[in-house]
A and B are shown apart, each in its own frame.
Chain A
């Protein structure tokens, strides 16, 4: 079974508008971490934002925020005031387990975001 689901293969957003990229996850662990990465066409993976399972507040980093709904196992990325440079693939990822120091991360299939001028 998929541990990370990203149901939107592609999304379009108008420049300066906000956009939400969906991510749902599946885990039986109580302690886990959720991450979002951006991958431009050049290929490098850029870390955007992190949410721990015990964090009570939603994470925010500049124009990025994470809408964390633990009961629904949802960790959606919200990008405010979209810019042309935001056009890229976006991956949701999860690291499971408090004891899994350095354990493997699981990545979702990604969402391709295109920002329209």
Chain B
């Protein structure tokens, strides 16, 4: 089955530590996105990528970094510069004008 796989489902970060969230898709979609969702809130765009080796900052990119070395993969690194990283992170992909497809999300907490 085609879809988007996010891992891990739950992640804990220690102070001063970088962590990487994985997002893989086998839908052959060109565009991929990372969103952050705080409790009871909507989605805020962190980064998006339209093609391999290219990505743009979204509304809240500070403290995050991404790479897009392969079409299928768009990992998100939450750096130690992100002072309030506790949130639910959603990865999505899309093709042309089609709706975005989402992964099941990763819940990140601070130890």
Chain A residues within CB distance 8 Å of chain B: 33, 35, 37, 42-45, 47, 50, 52, 91, 93, 95, 101-110
* In-complex Cβ contact of B48 among A42, A91, A104, A108 (8 A): A104
Q: Which residues of B contact A (CB under 8 A)?
A: 30-31, 33, 35, 41-45, 48, 50-51, 56, 58, 88, 90, 92, 94, 96-97, 99-105, 107
Q: Point out the residues of chain A lying under 8 angstroms from B31, CB to CB.
A: 101-102
Q: Is B101 a contact partner of A47 (Cβ separation < 8 A)?
A: yes
Q: Which of A33, A102, A104 has the most CB of B within 10 A?
A: A102
Known: A45-B92, A109-B42. A101 touches B50 (CB 8 A): yes
Number of inter-chain CB pairs below 8 Å? 60
Give complex CA distance A34, B30 in Å.
20
CA–CA, A35 to B35, complex, Å?
16
A-B pairs, top 6 by smallest CB distance, nearest first, are A102-B31, A45-B102, A102-B50, A107-B43, A109-B42, A47-B99
- With known contacts A44-B102, A47-B100, A47-B101, A102–B94 Cβ distance under 8 A: yes
